[in-house]
Chain A
Amino acid sequence: MTGAAIEATGLGMKYRNRGWALRDCSFRLPAGRVCALVGPNGAGKSTLLALAAGFLRPSEGAVRVLGTTPGQARSRMAFVAQDKPLYPQLTVAATLWAGAELNPATWDQDTAERIAGELPRDARVRDLSGGQRTRLALALALGKRPELLLLDEPMADLDPLARHQLMGSLMAEAAEHATTIVMSSHILTELEGACDYLLLVDGGRVRLGGEAEDILAAHALLTGPVRDTAPHTVVESRTAGRLQTALVRRQGPVDTAVWEAAEPSLEELLLAHLRSPEAPALLTPSATAAEGGKEVAAV
């Protein structure tokens, strides 16, 4: 098993005026993965990223990044916040210059220039469009040559063309340098295809975690008569007349004499979990924190 890019154990964050944003989170993200951090708005995605990036001090538990504390790993990871808070009075060129000054050990001007692309170098950040700011923020992040890239809603401001292009650039970086990437979004389709790892955060907890393929394979969409789906764990079940459709977590093989079984799409799977808050959490072995000690649903 490769090293962990992020490992959280009992991680929790309580804000003074909003209460618990994240509670009792234990999971592990192996290095070299492209991870989709999905969940509804306000689920705790941004808090989780800010904790991993070392911007917040956890109220309980701990998070380790690249085998050390977030503070120690600062020079080896990059973080792009949701609202891309670049210095408004700096020009594009000056922002990249600042990136070189502030990351003397790792800065790669060529990469930064390539991602920045056609951005006018003498334009001030405050005059850039949302999409252009995103591009510059990503240029700053990738110019740093991080081992771990944390992106909070990176594509929200982009048109489909720019989104495809920047996602391509991100994937190219991941391919060339085995960069671990975590991207949050409340729109799964934005990330599907690019990500091979999945973390579903909902209500401040990790509901699903692991390789997207394995998580899909652990579930089945059953169609058949209205009857008990045991031994499989039901995530969500609906009946229409005498027909039952159930999304289940498989326990052993499905009885195909009774049920017609299909593999759900990722979107179906996530929506079923979001609609059923009481469904047990699932972490695949690679996503299970080593010293977690918390209960983990059987796979």
Chain B
Amino acid sequence: MSAIALRGPERVVIYQHRRALWSAGALALVGVAAVVAAWLWASSASGTFAGSGCSVENTVRGCGDTVRAFLDTELRFSQAVDYAGLAMMILPACVGMFVAGPLIGRELENGTYITSWSQSVSPARWLAARLAVPAVLTLAGVSVLSAFSAWAWSRAKGTYYPRGDWYEREIYGAMGSAPVGYALCMLALGALIGLLLRRAVAAMAVTVLAYVPLVMVLNRVREDLWPTARFLGGDRPGGDAWLVDSGMLTASGKAIYPKDCFGGAGDTAACMRGLKEATGFADYHPASHFWPLQLVETGILLVLAALAVALAFRVLRRRHG
């Protein structure tokens, strides 16, 4: 720690919450270690299994137990990756709760902020330290965890229990830059909510409640965050493509979606007439859209975070001069 020249307010924040920070770090390490251990176990079992001469697809007599034991280790690894993904989804809410509760809400509730502000520390500086410390730790920690989660997902892909595709919510939200964006956004929201409510428990609860619509809305609009690719013809795009929509393309180049023809509003007869010389198409995101989509989503989250931070400073200035 001595290598980094931290300034007073940040050092005090770290010291005050060192136990929580150490615990969070230890918890993350344990989680990572558990997934790695499950993988090591699975890959060693895979080596043993390869040497046993048995096969999962064509189970011959006498191989039943060997196959079952091998599949069990792979299943266990896959489940560990599942839990890790779940933890990644919960992580941003935890960051938000930590900032809303112990860092800000509790100080305002107990009046201990008065002790800080009575030193040579302005309210704005006090808040800045309470944002900067978790932001830096979140940025570093969640980036590493996100990379790890992507690695675990790619390992799980090669097993008999692959996890979902890259675009599935639990997977998309557990890797890339999105987890960092969510965590930073929740951090800022937590700070704002803590400042507004001035109560630790209430602020933590509201922060969690705010996380749910944030995730839901972004999950819903995600497919529109980057222009889709269009595939023409009867066949569907390949395995790891995220199929967003499909329909028929008329000769004049007008796209007709199923909902246009069978929805309440459309003129079904005219619609069907148009389809006679139409070709089928599919709108989809190829796997190469992963990063553009992630970066746009992260950008939105960071803009939200910046708004929340600006608002938080404004609230502080209005209340306390």
Contacts and interface: CB of A to CB of B under 8 A. Distances in A.
**Do chains A and B directly touch (beta carbons under 8 Å) in the complex?**
yes
Most B CB within 10 A of own CB, among A78, A80, A99? A99
B105 to A, nearest CB: 15
Most B CB within 10 A of own CB, among A53, A74, A83, A86? A74
B111 interface: yes
A101 B320 contact: no
Nearest to B8: A101
B110 interface: yes
A197 interface: no
A74 B114 contact: no
A99 B9 CA distance: 10
Interface residues of B, number: 23
Contacts, number: 78
Given A71-B122, A74-B122, A106-B120, A90 B16 contact: yes
Interface residues of A, number: 36
**Main SS at interface, chain A:** loop
Contact of B118 (A89, A105, A106, A141): A141
A98 interface: yes
B312 to A, nearest CB: 16
Given A54-B321, A57-B318, A57-B319, A85 B122 contact: no
B18 to A, nearest CB: 10
B2 to A, nearest CB: 14
Contacts of A201: none
Contacts of A78: 118
Given A98-B12, A102-B12, A71 B119 contact: no
A223 interface: no
A55 B114 contact: yes
A54 B119 contact: no
Contacts of A101: 8-9, 11-12
Interface of A: 53-58, 69-71, 74-75, 78-81, 83, 85-90, 94, 97-99, 101-106, 137, 140-141, 144
Interface of B: 8-9, 11-12, 15-16, 110-122, 318-321
7 contacts: A78-B118, A81-B118, A88-B110, A90-B16, A97-B15, A102-B8, A102-B119
